[in-house]
Amino acid sequence: MGTTEFLTDFHHVATFGATDNNGVDRQAATPEDKLSRDWFAAFAAERGWELRVDGIGNMFALIEFVPGAPYILIGSHLDSQPLGGRFDGAYGVVAALHAAELVAQRVAEHGAGVQYNLGVVNWFNEEGGRFAPSIMGSSVFAGLMSEDEMLDVRDLSGVSVAEALTAIGYRGSDPRPEVAGYAEIHIEQGRILEREGITLGAVDYSWYTQKLDIEVLGEQSHTGATAMADRHDALVAASKVVLLVHDVTQQFDDEAIVSSVGRFTVEPNSPIVVARRVHLVADLRSASPEIVAAARASLLADIAEIAREHDIRINVRDFDIRDIQRYPQSGIELIEKVAADLGLSVRPIRTMPAMIRWR
């Protein structure tokens, strides 16, 4: 097992949901996701590893070295964003599987001193492209989200998580392994390391983040028959909200906060109808919770002004709030030591998504 075998498997996984631009569209609990899950299960079965699938669809390939001992988990996710990248998540899962096989071989040859068992995980719906919120499976595993509530979440077509998992055969009921630690390798998804010519980023903490669920409610009418003065156009108002979310970052120091609108749904979305409703999701992220709070307050005030200007109603709801997560110094030091042993450059880095995580 070496680089060639790893690359062969990685490129094979990239065929599941492959798109024309060398990306993938492998959203959670779709037929394409099932293909990647079946491959994961087959990889584990071929090596005699135990496979578990829990109630939210997380997959665990488990290797027992010490009966009764907890597991060190490594892995990532195989689902993608709509029209996502082939490296995001899948790199971490495939790399973890191949690393686990090498560790198992080493333990079989020189097993003395092993304290923990080893597991590889494929988290369910880490991306949140089909079902919101994201990091769903890992959050349920960590006790941060309710499994029952997440199973009831529905996609834009009205299909629930429970229904989707059942449809692809991956709504499990297996017990979750006891875990002593977790590590993940992930692509940067930015350009800091690339610009600096550094190979690895050892994540010391993640940014504070929160989302705003925004509903803009206007009045449906005919685009030809309705006078401009009589319109209550939800789409026009929502477009101004999008610009507000983008421009709010200018109130703070450069790169102190990032913001975006990642979901935008128009009803009835007809070319001859003034929109009655627009639903959008805004995302705010910063190393400072205070900056996020200030940006949120500014947005709420400006959104209220837009509602008055257009004589419509705009509802804003906070959700998916995630505090800063600081990673153990011991894990950061381990990453730095391994990088030094391998002759690879490394630097600490803070992140919005994570690159290499340990907890």
Q: How far is CA 227 from CA 222, 224, 239, 347, in A?
A: 9, 8, 20, 60
Q: Judge residue 289's burial from the number of C-beta atoms within 10 Å of its C-beta, 0-12 exposed, 13-18 middle, 19 or more buried.
A: middle
Cβ 1 vs Cβ 96: under 8 Å: no
In which element (H, E) is residue 253 found? Answer: none
What gap in Å lies between CA 220 and CA 340, rounded to an integer?
63
Average pLDDT of the residues of the chain: 94
DSSP 3-state assignment of 85?
coil
Residue-level pLDDT at 325: 87
Euclidean distance between CA atoms 174 and 35, whole angstroms: 21
pLDDT value of residue 255: 87
Angle between helices 90-109 and 3-13 (to 10 degrees): 150
Q: Which H or E run contains 323?
A: none
Question: Which spans in 272-351 are helix H?
Answer: 289-310, 329-342
pLDDT value of residue 129: 92
List domains and CATH numbers for the chain. 3-187 (3.40.630.10), 208-322 (3.30.70.360)
Inter-residue contact 136 to 144 (CB < 8 Å): no
Q: What is the pLDDT of residue 320?
A: 87
User: In whole angstroms, how large is the CA radius of gyration of the chain?
Assistant: 23
Q: Classify residue 98 as left (phi > 0), alpha (psi -120 to 50) or beta.
A: alpha
**Angle ∠(287,289,291) on CA atoms, nearest 5:** 85
Query: How far from each other are the two terminal CA atoms of the chain, in whole angstroms?
Result: 28
Per-position b or e across 119-141, b if 16+ CB within 10 A of its CB: bbbbbbbbbbbbbbbbbbbbbbb
Tell me the torsion sign for CA atoms 85, 9, 33, 59. Answer: negative
Q: What is the mean pLDDT of each run of 10 residues along the chain (359 residues)?
A: 90 97 97 99 99 99 97 98 95 98 94 92 96 94 96 97 99 98 90 93 92 98 96 98 98 94 96 98 96 98 98 96 90 94 94 47
Task: Give Cα separations from 253 to 248, 250, 300 (angstroms).
Answer: 11, 7, 20
Relative to beta strand 277-286, strand 208-217 is: antiparallel
Are the C-beta atoms of 106 and 99 separated by less than 8 Å?
no
| pTM as predicted | 0.84
Q: Please enumerate, as own/partner, the contacts of 86-90 that have beta carbons within 8 Å and a separation of 24 or more.
A: 86/14, 86/18, 86/22, 86/23, 86/24, 87/187, 88/127, 88/186, 88/187, 88/189, 89/126, 89/127, 89/186, 90/10, 90/13, 90/14, 90/24, 90/36
Model confidence pLDDT, tens digit, residues 131-140: 999 999 999 9
Q: What was the pLDDT predicted at 298?
A: 98
- Return the pLDDT at 354: 34
